[in-house]
Amino acid sequence: MASSLSSSFLGTHSLKSPTLTPPFQPHCFARLRVRLPLKASSRNNNVNTDSAETPSLQPSSPKPPSHPSSSMLPTFRNGWLKFDELGMEIMLIALPAALALAADPIASLIDTAFVGHIGAVELAAVGVSASVFNLVSKAFNVPLLNITTSFVAEEQALMSKEEESSPSNENGKYQSKKLLPSVSTSLALAATLGIAETVALTLGSGILMNIMGIPADSPMRGPAEQFLTLRAFGAPAIVIALAAQGTFRGFLDTKTPLYAAYLGMLGVGNFLNAILDAILIFFLGLGVGGAAVATVISEYVNDVNSFVFTRYIIAFILLWKLNGKVLLVPSEFDGRKIFGYLKSGGLLTARTLAVFITVTLSTSVAAKQGPIPMAGHQICLQVWFSISLLTDALALAGQALLASSYSLGRYERARLIIYRVIQIGLGLGITLSLTLFLGFGAFSNLFSTDSKVLDIAQSGVLFVAGSQPVNALAFVIDGIYYGVSDFGYAAYSMVLVGLVSSTFLLVAAPTGLPAVWTGLFMFMALRVLAGVWR
């Protein structure tokens, strides 16, 4: 499956490279029919050590490649048994990214665990407000993260290639600095979006609760609106953090965000969040509001650590090193870059809205079942989202590597990257599935002491655990499309998938939580199908 998808995908997009074709070159939506060009550069001589292609074949040969199942068979045989250099490179990028991405969900898991011991109503309220917060804030945050990663990776790769052919002075230093407008553009947009999200969530909390179907007389309404209003003040810190992470990933550097996360969210921030949760919720009796205040305080401590303290230390060092190569303050503003962000951002915003509307609709359907079913669903959904970050980090690693190789026209290496991330992702998904099947029951006890809530949560183990392989493939395939900047297909296909899944959720809503979980599984499976179909 991985080999055939990689061959088909590169055939679909091989005519889109900005370095090899003019901008008016039409897209090719057909399967791979001609052999990909073999570059004469020595950088590509050892790219595909497992390929079954004949070495004597000339680059200009029009002979089509052999069937993927036969041409990639040696790679398939060795891939599961041999962890090659490319696989190690992917993991070295993905592992730090996963740890850095886990910071905010860890804070959410801590809140869920503490609030779950207050009562089922409070836990259900947190579930509703968290779903709304994710819908509003991440509608723009996730597109900004993905676009920044791809744009910075492409610019960095192309600039590095230009440097190799640029004239140098007697000391071997290049005459001009590189211009990377994607970095400053991304951070400026992040600050603007963060402030706008805070205002929207604060002023519109009541309207958003009405949209979620939580009436004013519901016992969940007060705690949910209170949590959402206070949680909104953490939006700027989250958006700026994601933009900064996207920039570092574009440079294939996921360790710097990891160090910042350990200093902030995985270190001081989450420790402070846990302490504040215990004090504000139990000792001061603030309930759900205390959890929200604890999260906001910890996030702004994280913001200070990551974007003030870390900005003065880590970012200062990075900017000092880049100052000799990168023009930080351009003399002329390039409006095309902001237009590129807005165009791609518009597509991915539509895609992200399709994702979060579907997930939010599932939460709304679950909330209408009552506080007890909603609380059990919240436990399942929180674990489901948190686990998905592992495969999301793998997708980000593939995206950054693919964007770099693809922009340089190194299609053979790009094909191997696609194959490896799909292979590793599927293996990771199976491993996570088995782990959750064995440990979800004990893990769910951390979130509530209510036996009814736990019974409902544990009844969803088939959904939480069984969907992991499909989830892994869905995230990895998303990263592949982002890596070649095919944001259009990623958006259009996701809107269609969201419409189908949302329709199912609305029709099957009367049957309860099993319909909700089936609808979410269908949503992920259709994402995989749409990615492979292309």
366, 444 in Cβ contact below 8 A? Answer: no
Does the pLDDT value for residue 202 go beyond 80?
yes
426, 411 in Cβ contact below 8 A? Answer: no
**26-79 pLDDT per residue, tens:** 333 333 333 334 443 333 444 444 443 434 333 443 443 343 333 333 444 444
Does the pLDDT value for residue 299 go beyond 60?
no
Alpha helices in 306-370 (DSSP H): 310, 316-322, 335-367
- Tell me which residue of 463, 478, 466, 403 sits closest to 429, measured CA to CA: 466
110, 272 in Cβ contact below 8 A? Answer: no
For the residues 263-283, what does the mean pLDDT come to?
Answer: 57
Question: Does the reported pTM lie above 0.75?
Answer: no
- pLDDT band at residue 93, thresholds of 50, 70 and 90? confident
Q: What is the mean pLDDT of the chain?
A: 71
Tell which wins on pLDDT, 407 or 262.
407
Could you give the maximum distance between any two Cα atoms of the chain, in Å? Answer: 77
For the residues 1-30, what does the mean pLDDT come to?
Answer: 47
For 337-347, b/e burial (b = at least 16 CB within 10 A) is beebbeebbeb
For the residues 347-374, what does the mean pLDDT come to?
Answer: 87
- pLDDT band at residue 499, thresholds of 50, 70 and 90? very high
- pLDDT band at residue 105, thresholds of 50, 70 and 90? low
- pLDDT band at residue 431, thresholds of 50, 70 and 90? very high
Q: How far apart are CA 381 and CA 397, in angstroms?
A: 25
Q: Which two tokens stand for residue 7?
A: 């061959």
Return the minimum-mean-pLDDT range out of 67-76, 180-189, 409-418.
Answer: 67-76
Domain ranges of the chain: 85-163+176-533
- pLDDT band at residue 527, thresholds of 50, 70 and 90? very high
Q: Compute the Cα dihedral for 137, 499, 471, 89 and give only its sign.
A: negative
Does the pLDDT value for residue 25 go beyond 90?
no
For the residues 265-285, what does the mean pLDDT come to?
Answer: 58
Q: How far apart are CA 233 and CA 208, in angstroms?
A: 16
Tell which wins on pLDDT, 382 or 265.
382
Q: Which phi and psi (to 5°) does residue 47 adopt?
A: -70, -50
Q: Give the number of other Cβ atoms within 10 Å of residue 323's Cβ.
A: 11
Q: What is the pLDDT of residue 89?
A: 86
For the residues 80-106, what does the mean pLDDT come to?
Answer: 73
Q: DSSP state, 45?
A: T
